[in-house]
């Protein structure tokens, strides 16, 4: 069920009505676990078996690592956990992609070998949750979770189950032992975050999807200017769609007394590639940093190895998004951008003079770098992307989009900048009830009047 659906409203009302009858601790954790399985089961009850298997695998492998009396046994249980998780991820998400590429190289018809499977929703996210636990446990960075109930809730906690943020066991599991009741300011701030995320999703993202879908469905018939506008629209769409989900997830978690990490920090206003990537999907970026980039040597190596580490990390990040070469190339493009920028900043002996509008010029350069990768992320295949680039660089004529879309994108950018300057989380908790009712009511009216409903969240496919 979608956060912006009637079914979810009924689900939440029923759950919130039951919560007071279950004391904090094991009883409430059990209630939330059952609710999380019901939430996920509405998509496909069969895939609950996969979540249960993953949960049991990592819980018992983690316990075995702690009690193992030798290093090789600890490594055996670690690799059993990693192999199980990555094996299922590969089978469901990358099996047919692998067959297609083997067939391309060998010339064998892959059709008889295709896997007739559906990618389980959220598999990339909850797989990373469980691997985080076993890796950190092996490293000695977190204690063993002795409760299967608590660990199961860590894996399946419904607000973030389908599209993150990616949780760390060291951050979430200690919160399960909290005994004090949920504070009023947590509930009110949760309402604020949910309303903000809902507005981002159904009013901004889903409306911008209209122009983005129209152009990207067949970009070869649109002008270069229309493609640029549609790419900018998709850039804002995917930001508001994904950050909207993450913001709603944080708000819902607060209603039950949980703090889950912030996933976006105004990335669209950043002025260089490093700042942008550090502030976009921060939990995923930190995951790849801690479990891929740093084990390869991180930045404390020579230039050649530094470039290698960046490229491997970002190519894998692209592959994480989907089993397609345009996602791999998207990751490669971002890796090249980050590697070049890092080396230039490391060795440059000059500095641009200070002038009015310097940061704005930096932002424009960053946008110019991002738009090609955004288009690459959106298109369905490489042929469409090369055709799209050709039309943009030659500024080809063709079908156009209404100029109001460009004005709307400019207006949204200004509003986003004003939010960055003025908005501080917790507004509803700092004002009195009449103002709270007015703000929530006006948001509800705006959603009811302006929402373009019915679209799933973009990151559900990953």
Task: Supply the residues annotated as catalytic.
Answer: 321
Residue 271 C-beta-side C-alpha neighbours within 13 Å:
8
Q: How many helices (H) and strands (E) does the chain have?
A: 20, 0
Residue 170 corresponds to which tokens in the numbers above?
């060291």
DSSP letters for 45-56: GGGHHHHHHHHH
Beta-bridge partner residues of 314: none
**How far is residue 239's CA from residue 370's CA, in Å, rounded to a whole number?**
13
The three-class DSSP label of residue 444 is: helix
Residues contacting 455, CB < 8 A, separation 6+: 205, 206, 209
Neighbours of 119 (CB within 10 A): 18
**Residue whose C-alpha is closest to residue 104's, from 292, 342, 382:** 382
Other Cβ atoms closer than 10 A to 167: 25
DSSP state of 356: T
Which tokens in the block code for residue 1? 């069920």
Task: Measure Cα distances from 68 to 83, 132, 187 in Å.
Answer: 19, 19, 43
């Amino acid at each position: 069920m979608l956060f912006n659906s009637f079914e979810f409203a009924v689900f939440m009302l029923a759950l919130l009505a039951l919560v007071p009858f279950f004391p904090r601790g094991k009883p409430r954790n059990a209630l939330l676990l059952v609710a999380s399985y019901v939430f996920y089961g509405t998509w496909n009850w069969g895939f609950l078996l996969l979540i249960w298997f993953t949960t049991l695998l990592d819980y018992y492998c983690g316990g075995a690592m702690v009690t193992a009396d030798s290093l090789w046994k600890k490594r055996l249980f670690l690799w059993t956990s990693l192999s199980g998780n990555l094996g299922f991820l590969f089978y469901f998400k990358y099996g047919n992609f692998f067959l297609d590429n083997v067939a391309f190289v060998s010339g064998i018809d892959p059709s008889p070998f295709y896997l007739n499977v559906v990618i389980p929703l959220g598999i990339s996210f909850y797989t990373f949750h469980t691997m985080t636990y076993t890796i950190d446990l092996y490293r000695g960075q977190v204690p063993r979770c002795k409760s299967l109930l608590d660990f199961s809730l860590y894996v399946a906690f419904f607000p973030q189950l389908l599209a993150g943020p990616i949780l760390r066991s060291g951050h979430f599991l200690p919160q399960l032992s909290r005994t004090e009741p949920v504070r009023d300011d947590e509930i009110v701030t949760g309402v604020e975050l949910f309303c903000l995320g809902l507005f981002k999703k159904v009013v901004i993202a889903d409306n911008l999807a209209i122009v983005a879908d129209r152009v990207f469905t067949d970009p070869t018939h649109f002008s270069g200017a229309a493609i640029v506008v549609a790419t900018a629209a998709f850039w804002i769409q995917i930001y508001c769609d994904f950050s909207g989900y993450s913001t709603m997830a944080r708000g819902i978690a607060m209603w039950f007394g949980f703090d889950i990490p912030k996933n976006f920090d105004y990335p669209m206003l950043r002025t260089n590639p490093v700042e942008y990537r550090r502030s976009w999907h921060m939990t995923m970026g930190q995951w790849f940093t801690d479990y891929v980039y740093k084990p390869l040597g991180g930045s404390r190596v020579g230039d050649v190895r530094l470039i290698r580490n960046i490229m491997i990390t970002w190519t894998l990040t692209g592959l994480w998004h989907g089993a397609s070469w345009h996602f791999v190339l998207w990751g490669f493009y971002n890796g090249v951008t980050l590697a070049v920028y890092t080396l230039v900043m490391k060795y440059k002996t000059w500095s641009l003079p200070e002038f009015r509008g310097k940061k704005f010029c930096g932002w424009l350069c960053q946008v110019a770098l991002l738009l090609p990768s955004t288009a690459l992320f959106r298109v369905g295949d490489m042929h469409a992307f090369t055709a799209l680039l050709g039309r943009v660089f030659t500024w080809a004529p063709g079908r156009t989009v209404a100029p109001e879309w460009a004005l709307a994108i400019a207006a949204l950018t200004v509003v986003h900048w004003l939010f960055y300057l003025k908005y501080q989380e917790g507004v509803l908790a700092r004002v009195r009830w009449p103002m709270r009712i007015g703000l929530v009511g006006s948001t509800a009216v705006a959603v009811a009047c302006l929402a373009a409903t019915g679209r799933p969240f973009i990151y559900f496919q990953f």
